[in-house]
Structure 1
Amino acid sequence: MMTPFENRTEAGRQLAESLRHSFGDRKDLIVLALPRGGVPVGLEVARALKAPLDLILVRKLGVPGHKELAMGAITSHARVLNEEVIRSCGVSDEALEEVAREEQRELERRAGRYRGDRPWPELKDRCVILVDDGIATGATMEAAARAVREQKPASLVLAVPVAPPETLRRFSSLADKVECLMTPEAFWAIGAWYRDFSQLSDEQVIAMMREAEEQP
């Protein structure tokens, strides 16, 4: 049986250990975490690989009335839509755009809160490790991966503690390498694979990013 992770920090340490053999000696690394849940995972990966940690901001587009069900996701550079979910839920173009506008405002708020005036990192010709605390439908991670690909990295690695196998298969052509510690067939939800899956606050994310900046 697969044992749930104690928390995101423990999951990050295990993920870092899995990545160390392949990436421990690379000097062109950068770890990009998806806030909020991916940040404590990414912090442990960046610390172990002696790589800088930064953020890639993604917002899920939730179905109106069922926000946990993703009909797509956006970043500042990309939009990914799940047409099957949109059709099956009968979401109109107007409703979709209203949700997108709302999430765009939240994206901009978080960018200002987490990053301030700090410039976005240069990703061209670097090895980018894209980290989250898990993948469910894959919409947010796909939007993030496509946004990174637009910046022409040398390679793109997708690294998560847990994800369903059918979702991971979608990334085989988008990422150069996929690292995932657990791939349960009976997935349910990301939080089912953590004993502590507490929601993080903006203040915790900011504190973790400061911690990452202060490490050698």
Structure 2
Amino acid sequence: MFTDRREAGQRLLNRLGPIDPENTVILALPCGGLPVADVIAEALGVPLDIVLVRKVGVPGQPELAVAAVTDGKTPKITVNEDVARMTGLNHADIARLAERELPEIHRRREIYLNGRPSAPLAGKVVVVVDDGIATGATLRAALRLVRDADPVRVIAAVPVAPAATIAALESECDEVICLECPADFRAVGLHYRDFEQVSDETVSEIIERHARRPSDR
């Protein structure tokens, strides 16, 4: 059990290998990944940014991800083929479901980034952080989006996930760090004592605080 997301971030920080602050960027998946990533980026003195991805849930089972859709000029859909087969959803069905998530991506971009450009990732070591994963669809989509930005190395870092999900993610990045892979995994929130929803205000405050740091030094 993790006390909260900040404690999870501290434990992930302790597992990271040597980091070159000049060539590293921490990317968080909002909303839950921000408090985890905040601890890591603050301790290392490296830039913190977000990657905007939305889970595409199965109709009637919104927590079961059949796909994920990422931000960008041409949004990309990453399909969880096992769930698609199990639910009988074809790619056209999934594309229609994904379309419904785009307004929330746009809303978050406006609120969280407020017109600020994304951190450059080309030639960087990028650590992609979330507070935990179940099927891995959202993180997989995020990793593919990051890969398109031409980083030199991509690391996925999460506190908790099923072992099978971690194994499936290993082909999507250079390294996966996961602190706990419970045999009885059911949901991310069950592995935290405090798993309160992270508000838009909290996300914006964390991003704004890190955006001010370069000018403060």
TM-score (ref. length: structure 2): 0.92
Structure-2 residue corresponding to 1:180:
178
1:168 alignment counterpart:
166
Report the Cα offset of residue 145 of structure 1.
0.2
User: What CA distance in whole angstroms lies between the structure 1 residues aligned with 2:91 and 2:41?
Assistant: 40
* RMSD (Å) for aligned C-alpha atoms: 1.5
- Which structure 2 segments of 5+ residues have no match? none
- Aligned counterpart, 1:145: 143
SS in 2 for 1:173: helix
Choose from 8, 13, 30 the match for 1:11: 8
* CA shift for structure 1 position 106: 0.8
2:126 aligned residue (112, 125, 128): 128
AA paired with 2:71?
A: S
Find 1:57's aligned residue among 33, 52, 61.
52
Taking the aligned partners of 1:32 and 1:185, their CA distance within structure 2 comes to 28
**Which aligned runs of 4 or more in structure 1 are off by greater than 6 angstroms?**
none
| 184, 187, 194: which one aligns with 1:196 | 194
1:54: how far off?
A: 0.3
Same amino acid, percent of matched pairs: 43
Q: Measure how far apart 1:92 and its partner are.
A: 5.2
Q: Specify the alignment match of 2:155 in structure 1.
A: 157
Match of 2:37 in 1: 42
TM-score (norm 1): 0.92
Offset from partner CA, 1:44-73 (integer Å, 9 cap, x none): 010111111000011000001110000000
Give 3-state SS (helix, strand or coil) of 1:23's partner. Answer: coil
Q: Aligned partners of 1:68 and 1:52: how far apart in 2? A: 31
CA distance in 2, matches of 1:64, 1:171: 25
State the match for 1:208 in structure 2. Answer: 206
**Structure 1: 5+ residue runs without aligned partners?**
none
Q: 1:165 to 1:92 in 2, by over 3 A?
A: closer
Cα shift readout 1:99-143 (whole Å, capped 9, x = no counterpart)? 211101111111111112111221111000000001110000000
Is the CA contact 1:31–1:128 (under 8 Å) kept in the aligned structure 2? yes
How many residue pairs are counted as aligned between the two chains? Answer: 211
